[in-house]
Amino acid sequence: MRRMKVLAGVLALALGCGACLGGGKNVGKTLRVASMSGTVEVQASPAAAWAPARVGQRIAPGGSVRTSAGAAAALARDDGARLEVGPSSLIVVQTVRKVSLDLGRVLAATNDLTLTVSLAGIEAHGTRSTFRVDRDFSERVGVYSGEVLVIGDSSTVTVSPLQQVELTGGVLPRDTVPLIISPTDPWDRTQLADVLDLDRQLRGYGRAFVHDFGSKARDPEFYRGLAPSISAPALAASLSQTDDPADVLFGVLMAVHLKGDVAGVLGRLLGLRRAGATWGLLAKTFHIGARDFIAIVVAAFLPASPSPTPAGPGPTTGNPSPSPTSGPRPTHSPSPRPTRSPSPSPSPTPTCSAIDALLGHCSSANTLL
């Protein structure tokens, strides 16, 4: 364990040597309160009393910042790196390069020089990255962009973009999992607005798919029409592992788009989905544009999308006349007056399918959604 801690110190020193190698950027000696909202307090040193924070105030090493429920503060380093302190949080400034998170959550945005956040015996080192560290209901390090090196007592993990590592009983696992996101989280909304918007659209398409296709949505042969290279038993197994057939639909469409071993890619995608990834997050992970994926989904719907039932024809005599588009326009000629017959009852108003509604093919009066 001692050897691992020595290695961690060497790695941290190497990460912090950005100032030695490039640019000569000055990080300064303090952090500055750049902005704040709600009740934010500062403790200048461990022996000092807590006092209200002020925008522009300097926080020296040894100082602490705490926020109340619903409050937030942004701290800036002289080189431009920023640290956002979330609600109900407490941090201690160790140096201008390192803070410890005692409670709550922080969002770090770094440039060429490393910023380290420590908690529960681990350290998260970020350079040219945006990452969050949470210490409330669970302890995790999640990455929005760049890479973050997380060092524990017995392991070291590199967390890639849109991934996270979550501590279990204070132990750092060796593997990362997809970043867990929420449309109610303010940092997710600012950092991943495109992902959350795609997720919202796909939820609508998924509900429409299950509603309109019914039992067909659980038929492996339907998906084989989209991906013939995947066997029916493999598709049946995928369907049995989810409560939502739309997951299999989106997985098949994404796997076909990514090409390669379609069955293998589908298995990997559904595994990530079960681990908590949303389809919007997976699209961003595999560099599929939101518009591109929506177009793929719509293209899969169009051939099978139900069409409104046409109204029944009125009474006619003789052969029906061709439609204007089916052949040359006929010349006018006298035709016998049709015999009087009871008028047919009006056809029922066509019902718009959920998918047609999403595609904009229906009037609002006939929409099921």
CATH label of the domain that carries residue 103: 2.60.120.1440
Mean pLDDT of the 165-181 span: 90
Q: Is residue 319 part of a domain?
A: no
Predicted pLDDT at 155: 87
Residues 49 and 171 in one domain: yes
> What residues contact residue 326 under an 8 Å CB cut-off, 6+ apart?
none
Q: Is residue 279 part of a domain?
A: yes
Mean pLDDT of the 230-254 span: 96
Residues 200 and 297 in one domain: yes
Question: Is residue 13 classed exposed, middle or buried when 0-12, 13-18 and 19+ CB atoms within 10 A define those classes?
Answer: exposed
Q: Say whether pLDDT at 169 is over 60.
A: yes
**What percent of the chain stands above pLDDT 90?**
68
Is the separation of the CB atoms in 256 and 223 below 8 Å? no
What residues make up the domain containing 30?
Answer: 2-182
Q: Is residue 353 part of a domain?
A: no
Is the separation of the CB atoms in 251 and 269 below 8 Å? yes
Across 169-178, 192-201, 288-297, least confident range: 169-178
Across the chain, what does the average pLDDT equal? 83
Three-state DSSP class for 9?
A: helix
Residues 14 and 157 in one domain: yes
Per residue in 306-350, pLDDT tens? 444 455 454 444 444 444 444 444 444 444 444 444 544 444 444
Residues 280 and 216 in one domain: yes
Q: Is residue 247 part of a domain?
A: yes
User: Per-residue DSSP letters for 166-184?
Assistant: E-BTTBPPSS-EEPP--TT
Q: Is residue 149 part of a domain?
A: yes
Residues 27 and 175 in one domain: yes
Residues 113 and 88 in one domain: yes
Q: Is residue 233 part of a domain?
A: yes
Residues 266 and 298 in one domain: yes
Residues 116 and 262 in one domain: no
Predicted pLDDT at 361: 53
- Listed residues 159, 182, 205: the one ending a domain: 182
Residues 178 and 196 in one domain: no
Q: Say whether pLDDT at 143 is over 50.
A: yes
Per residue in 3-45, pLDDT tens? 444 444 444 444 444 444 344 468 889 999 999 999 999 999 9
Q: Is residue 135 part of a domain?
A: yes
Per residue in 201-238, pLDDT tens? 999 999 999 999 999 999 999 999 999 999 999 999 99
Residues 166 and 273 in one domain: no
Domain count, the chain: 2
Mean pLDDT of the 176-180 span: 97
Q: What is the pTM of this model?
A: 0.78
The neighbouring-strand residues paired with 92 are 64, 100
* Angle CA 41–108–128, to nearest 5: 150
Residues 160 and 255 in one domain: no
- Listed residues 304, 325, 359: the one ending a domain: 304
Q: Is residue 56 part of a domain?
A: yes
Predicted pLDDT at 212: 92
Residues 131 and 241 in one domain: no
**Cα gap 251→202, rounded to integer Å:** 12
Q: pLDDT grade, residue 353 (50/70/90)?
A: low
**Cα gap 90→100, rounded to integer Å:** 9
- Listed residues 182, 215, 238: the one ending a domain: 182
